[in-house]
Amino acid sequence: MSRVLELESISKRFGSVAALESVSFDLVLGEVHGLLGENGAGKSTLMHVAFGMIAADAGRVIVRGVPTRFRSPRDAKRLGVGMVHQHFTSVPEMTVAENLWLAAGRYGAEAGRRSDSSTVTTAGSRLRRRLWEGLAPNDIVSSLPVGAKQRLEILQALAVGGDILLLDEPTAVLAPQETSELLALLRDFANGGGAVVLITHKLTEVFSIVDRVTVLRAGRVQSTGPVAGQTVSGLTAAMVGTADREPTVETSDSLGPVLARVDGLAVRGREVVGVAAIEGNGQRDLLRRMAGVLPAAGAEVIEPVAFIPEDRSTEGLIPALSLTENWVLGLAGDARWRRGPLLDWRAAEARMDQVLGEYSIRAGGPQAPAGTLSGGNQQKLIFARALEAAPRVIVAENPTRGLDVHATWFVQERLRRAAAAGAAVVVYSSDLDEVLSLATRLVVISRRRVLQVPPGASREAIGAMMIGATS
């Protein structure tokens, strides 16, 4: 086996939080290596070290047998290492070609041009040619569908060539068909001589294309080895341990009054309405009108309303501000820390400290910048803030996107508890399985119309409604 990337005894601390403790990891040509773990386990941090985004406190990075000290991602790209991040990094107002030139810098003059040659021989070149399908150099990024934006992210990672791809939750925003297509591309890339690290919380993806898997927990390696012979229960136990969960809370069969009515969608207290829709059918605008983020003529919504946005890093939090500051921004009118025109920051910080324990948020304390938290811990913070005011209506977009198994269960249970306590809950998820598991009632939004799904409808029938084949 030809090791192309080795991370030896990597340690990294952020203040009092030990993100990585003597972690070793290696990647060989021709493989897809899965990296699993709870939110905050250190997966993204480890790959950020490998990509030169942050410096390790201890340990070595070795690329193709040569110890290397990356000063920035530019150094990593020059050695053939590319990374696809959890959130889109392209500039929406720029064209595809401009974003690729920006990603390549002075190392990739050809980056913005299509690769149409049938004579390409490297794994990266073949992948780039396939990723260009459906893209044009002059396309404005903001006009692209989600799947095309994700392909652009991979093209940016390969903008200066390279055969090592690090991907952090690349399928989190993709529809099932787009996910299958992307996984097939990654498998072909590895088979052709590339090497892939795939961070994912979806075990179906692990068993679909991964060759080896490494599990991190609390910044340490729990296990590493071939996927062959692994089981779902075994990997889950390695990620989150075997602690017993609280019993699931069931919503009441007795529904409450209508608490929200917007654009033909009425939601009653003590129910969880699941929204199934294909990207671009108007579901986001409807949810934002219900949440009061967008104006809605004739809407009837009982306040307070909590909105949990899909993009936690731009709509949910201000990364540069502390946890306490982000907490107060969403709850500025709370009498517990409001003193006339002034704020009692000591009281707010004390409550924030309590919330960190109640929601198992792994952070350096109430004054830690929100940007230092893992994506899953950021989502827990947003969720805790949303529920703090005991909302009558809760609107959630992809609330478990990028969360591990335990955090996903935690968020779903909190939504069920809120409904059981009388709230009206509306959940949209691009993961149909999540919608089906959470919802007490299901609707489809297709071409901006709200369609009621009959009880007991099959997945095939729901899919037909989503694509507009039936009403």
pLDDT at res. 168: 92
- ∠ at Cα 392 (261, 173), nearest 5°? 75
Query: How far apart are alpha carbons 423 and 392 in whole angstroms?
Result: 5
What does the DSSP 8-state code read for residue 94?
A: S
Closest CA to 27 of 43, 4, 47: 4
Confidence band (pLDDT; 50, 70, 90) for 467? low
269 and 334 in a common domain:
yes
**Whether the predicted pLDDT of 239 surpasses 60:** yes
- Which of residues 192, 209, 240 is at a domain's end? 240
Structure token digits, residue 19: 């993100």
Closest CA to 337 of 353, 349, 322: 349
**Whether the predicted pLDDT of 322 surpasses 90:** yes
Closest CA to 371 of 314, 315, 320: 320
The CATH number given to whatever domain includes residue 312 is 3.40.50.300
Stretch 251-264: mean pLDDT: 84
Q: In terms of DSSP bridges, do strands 271-276 and 424-428 run parallel, antiparallel, or are they unpaired? A: parallel
205 and 269 in a common domain:
no
332 and 453 in a common domain:
yes
Query: How far apart are alpha carbons 224 and 159 in whole angstroms?
Result: 31
pLDDT at res. 253: 61
- Please check whether residue 251 lies inside any domain of the structure: no
Q: Is 136 buried (19+), middle (13-18) or exposed (0-12) by CB count in 10 A?
A: exposed
- Please check whether residue 10 lies inside any domain of the structure: yes
365 phi, psi to nearest 5 deg = 130, 175
83 or 130, which is more confident: 83
pLDDT at res. 32: 97
- Please check whether residue 248 lies inside any domain of the structure: no
Query: Which residues span the domain enclosing 175?
Result: 3-240
Closest CA to 166 of 20, 53, 65, 71: 53
Q: Are 167 and 27 in contact (CB under 8 A)?
A: no
pLDDT at res. 243: 45
101 phi, psi to nearest 5 deg = -65, -40
Stretch 410-439: mean pLDDT: 90
- Please check whether residue 253 lies inside any domain of the structure: no
pLDDT at res. 348: 95
276 and 219 in a common domain:
no
**Whether the predicted pLDDT of 271 surpasses 90:** yes
> Among 1-10, 23-32, 55-64, 130-139, whose mean pLDDT is lowest?
130-139
Stretch 450-464: mean pLDDT: 86
Confidence band (pLDDT; 50, 70, 90) for 286? very high
Q: Which helix (H) or strand (E) holds 262?
A: strand 258-262
Domain total in the chain: 2
Mean pLDDT (the chain) is: 87
282 and 141 in a common domain:
no
Instruction: Give the gyration radius of the chain's Cα atoms.
Output: 23
- Which of residues 240, 266, 293 is at a domain's end? 240
SS3 368: coil
Q: In terms of DSSP bridges, do strands 305-308 and 449-452 run parallel, antiparallel, or are they unpaired? A: unpaired
